[in-house]
Amino acid sequence: AGYPEGHISSPNLEEDIKHLKLKVDAGADFIMTQLFYDVDLYIDFVKRCRKAGITVPILPGLMPINSYNAFKRMIAYTKATVPKEIIAAIEPIKNNDAMVKAFGIELAKKMSQKILRTGLTPGLHFYTLNLEKSVTKILGGLGLARLPSKGVRPLPWKQSCATRRKNEDVRPIFWANRPYSYLSRTISWDEFPNGRWGNSTSPAYGELYDYHLMGLKSSSVRDRRRMWGGEVKSEQDVFDKFSEYIEGKISRLPWCETGIMLETLPLKQRLMAINRTGFLTINSQPRVNGARSDDEVVGWGDPDGYVYQKAYIEFFASPERIKALKALASNKEYKTLSYHAVNAKGDQFSNYTDKNAVNAVTWGVFPGREVLQPTVVDMGSFRVWKDEAFALWISQWRSIYPSGSASWEIIQKIHDTYYLCNIVENDFVKGGLDKFMDELAGYNPATEKNDGSAAAVAAEEKAKAEKA
């Protein structure tokens, strides 16, 4: 074992290298270093060893960052130096496990490339800690290993381990970020959708309305207060919390049990901006037109297949913003958009002609199989989901404030007056949902700033009318 910064019990690096030389002289065939994150320290260590007469291979020990907490624990234990630029990059995303892992993979690839270019080592050593998937992706990115030619996952959503659900392959998109709730709701079903969703009111599927375990993933009041607490002085304070979740500063929301998905990262700046303007997003997916089934971000299913997605977004918004949405959606430019908005009382707006419409938003084409459509937008299920979605404002957020306080009243107002809306862009080839949301929220992609919105105009008109 070699220590690029010296063993923590050694008085200095020079003394440490002297002991290392004795080990090599005693018959060691190669040296494997302690983990490090500063490549320059490794390079300097190898040069010092060569100068001291050590000629055996010195393999760099690399530990990919898989989680923020594990990373902090390991560097505290090993006293490894971490460059400032790594700290600056990881701190803003420390609460988003998916983003931290993606950053860790990219960092390890760059470190490996820099090391291999020096010619100082015949290979690399990775500390996997039984988390081999990241290392597999790193080696694939370096061209040192061939990634398996199979779908990244069997389906876009994580399947249940229950034997009786083994053939289930279709679910509504609404519970994508609260899968445990969906499993609880459907635990007593005799059958599960296979091949197509069909009618959600079918007796074979049971009732979606039963969800006695809805709070399965609820956190303590203290944890919720830490994430979303602080005095709420205006609705804008709530908007900012949603934006902070997208940014990675908050680990979860009542409607989202984990951080944002990897496929959402390209939409990050846009989503942060539209949340700040009052479109409080809780679910989304980008459009995908024929990505390979082994794609690392959006891939799923059997080898040599192709997957597709319609762009989708779901959010809470005030009545004024929903009014602006309806007006903008009436433009011919956006004729391929389908939307459905409903409030806690059940008042709803939609441009679907069939109140029980089912719209496939994810599907895949694979050799020797029928087309699979594992994710759908089902209007009947959405009306069920809205009860749970609105209830979370009360059970998870309002409950952290004293009854009747200003913060309590603001959360209650949002629950009572806002709408929950989902939008599907049916044109998965060149659809304009991004442009629609930009225009609605007044977001300018070129400047990454909000320049005013249709919703803002509607709110201003309402204020003028009330004043008059």
Residue 152: its pLDDT value, please?
66
Q: What is the mean pLDDT of residues 308-318?
A: 97
Tokens of residue 142, six digits: 């370096």
**Cα 205 from Cα 139, distance rounded (Å):** 44
> pLDDT-derived band of residue 204, with 50, 70 and 90 as boundaries?
very low
Residue 262: its pLDDT value, please?
81
**Cα 38 from Cα 82, distance rounded (Å):** 6
Most confident of 174-183, 188-197, 231-240: 231-240
Residue 186: its pLDDT value, please?
84
Lowest-confidence pick of 144-153, 349-358, 368-377, 430-439: 144-153
Type of residue found at 63? M
> pLDDT-derived band of residue 456, with 50, 70 and 90 as boundaries?
low
pLDDT > 90: percent of the chain: 66
Residues linked to residue 449 through DSSP beta bridges, in sequence order: 444
Three-state DSSP class for 89? helix
- The torsion angles phi and psi of 322, rounded to 5 degrees, stand at -65, -35
Q: Which residues neighbour 23 within 8 Å (Cβ) at sequence distance 6 or greater?
A: none
Lowest-confidence pick of 151-160, 368-377, 416-425: 151-160
Residue with more model confidence, 11 or 390: 390
Map tokens 């430019």 to a residue. 333
Tokens of residue 440, six digits: 């609605």
Map tokens 């969800």 to a residue. 211
Residue with more model confidence, 453 or 250: 250
Q: Which residues neighbour 323 within 8 Å (Cβ) at sequence distance 6 or greater?
A: 458
Q: Rounded to an integer, what is the distance from CA 465 to the centroid of its chain?
A: 41
Residue with more model confidence, 296 or 311: 311
**Cα 432 from Cα 430, distance rounded (Å):** 7
- DSSP secondary structure string for all residues of 186-217: TTT-S----S----TT-GGG--TT--TTGGGG
Residue with more model confidence, 258 or 307: 307
Q: Which residues neighbour 190 within 8 Å (Cβ) at sequence distance 6 or greater?
A: 204, 206
pLDDT at 253 over 90: yes
> pLDDT-derived band of residue 132, with 50, 70 and 90 as boundaries?
confident
pLDDT at 215 over 50: no
Identify whether the C-beta of residue 29 lies closer than 8 Å to the C-beta of residue 2.
no
Three-state DSSP class for 168? coil
Three-state DSSP class for 306? strand
Residue 203: its pLDDT value, please?
40
Residue 129: its pLDDT value, please?
86
Q: Per DSSP, which regions of 229-379 are E strands?
A: 280-285, 288-292, 306-309, 311-317, 337-343, 348-350, 358-365, 372-378
> pLDDT-derived band of residue 265, with 50, 70 and 90 as boundaries?
confident
pLDDT at 3 over 60: yes
Three-state DSSP class for 287? coil
Lowest-confidence pick of 35-39, 132-136, 251-255, 389-393: 132-136
Question: Burial code of 424-453, b = ≥16 C-beta within 10 A, e = fewer?
Answer: bbebbeebbbbebbbbbbbbeeeeeebeeb
Tokens of residue 13, six digits: 């690096």
Residue 279: its pLDDT value, please?
97
Lowest-confidence pick of 81-95, 150-164, 204-218, 274-288: 204-218
Identify whether the C-beta of residue 414 lies closer than 8 Å to the C-beta of residue 235.
yes
**Cα 357 from Cα 377, distance rounded (Å):** 8
Give the max Cα distance, the chain: 93
Within a 13 Å sphere around the CA of 445, how many CA atoms are in the beta-carbon half?
A: 12
- The torsion angles phi and psi of 296, rounded to 5 degrees, stand at -70, -25
Residue 205: its pLDDT value, please?
42
**Which of 367, 360, 352 has its CA nearest to residue 308?**
360
Residue 195: its pLDDT value, please?
66
Residue 151: its pLDDT value, please?
46
pLDDT at 201 over 80: no
**Cα 299 from Cα 322, distance rounded (Å):** 33
pLDDT at 463 over 70: no
Identify whether the C-beta of residue 61 lies closer than 8 Å to the C-beta of residue 35.
yes
